[in-house]
């Protein structure tokens, strides 16, 4: 049997040798919404009453699921900003940016692993600071406006 025939039986996987489509479309809005959602889910879990155990377990499962989903989304959005949008020159221009990403991911992991309002708030605050740097790097002014979400707090938008 020839080598090619032998290798035919190996499971086939895909490796990418291409670039991302350089669409240039980046926005820090989705990451902020994800961070607000993590905070909201944490608040909701904290408020669940234990009067009906079955309902409480059901509600905790659903809320935790959404918290997990948005933690994934936040990580993905931050990853895109950190690696696709921000380049070396911006990391030089904003020397605290790299540390800010690391702090956000750490706080996000803490918020994901625990029912920790403070960690969720820290995640949101850091995410907003990243949004502010994003707008600065675009050369436009940003402003913090009321989020109008049940979490209260603010969201960073272009002025």
Partner 1 sequence: MTILSKYKISGHSMEPAIKDKDYVLVSGLTYLFRKPQVGDVVLFRIKKETYIKRIERINGEKFFVLGDNSNDSLDSRDFGWIPKNKILGKVILKI
Q: Which residues bind partner 1 (CB under 8 A)?
A: 3-4, 7, 10-20, 79, 83-84, 87
Shortest approach of partner 1 to residue 3 CB, angstroms?
Answer: 8
Question: Minimum distance between the CB of residue 13 and partner 1, rounded to whole angstroms?
Answer: 5
Angle, CA of 78, 82 and 87, to the nearest 5°: 155
Which residue's CB is nearer to partner 1, number 4 or number 50?
4
Question: Looking at beta carbons only, is 76 or 141 nearer to partner 1?
Answer: 76
In angstroms, rounded to a whole number, what is the distance separating the alpha carbons of residues 63 and 59?
6
Report the phi/psi class of residue 59: left, alpha or beta, with left for phi > 0 and alpha for psi in -120 to 50: alpha
Closer CB to partner 1, residue 12 or residue 92? 12
User: What are 137-140's contacts with CB under 8 Å, separation 24+?
Assistant: 137/86, 137/90, 137/93, 137/94
| Least distance to partner 1, CB of residue 16, Å | 5
CB of 151 to partner 1, least distance (A): 28
């Amino acid at each position: 049997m020839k080598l090619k025939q032998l290798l035919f039986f190996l499971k086939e996987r895909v490796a990418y040798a291409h670039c991302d489509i350089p669409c240039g479309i980046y926005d820090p809005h989705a990451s902020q919404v994800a961070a607000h959602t993590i905070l909201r889910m944490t608040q909701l879990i904290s408020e669940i009453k234990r009067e009906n155990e079955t309902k409480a377990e059901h509600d905790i499962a659903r809320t935790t699921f959404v918290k997990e989903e948005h933690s994934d989304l936040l990580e993905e959005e931050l990853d895109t900003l950190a690696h696709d949008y921000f380049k070396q020159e911006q990391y030089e221009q904003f020397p605290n940016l790299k540390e800010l990403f690391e702090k956000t991911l750490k706080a996000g992991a803490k918020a994901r692993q625990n029912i920790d309002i403070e960690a969720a708030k820290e995640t949101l605050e850091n995410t907003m600071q990243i949004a502010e740097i994003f707008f600065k790097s675009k050369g436009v002014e940003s402003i913090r406006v009321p989020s109008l979400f049940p979490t209260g707090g603010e969201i960073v938008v272009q002025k």
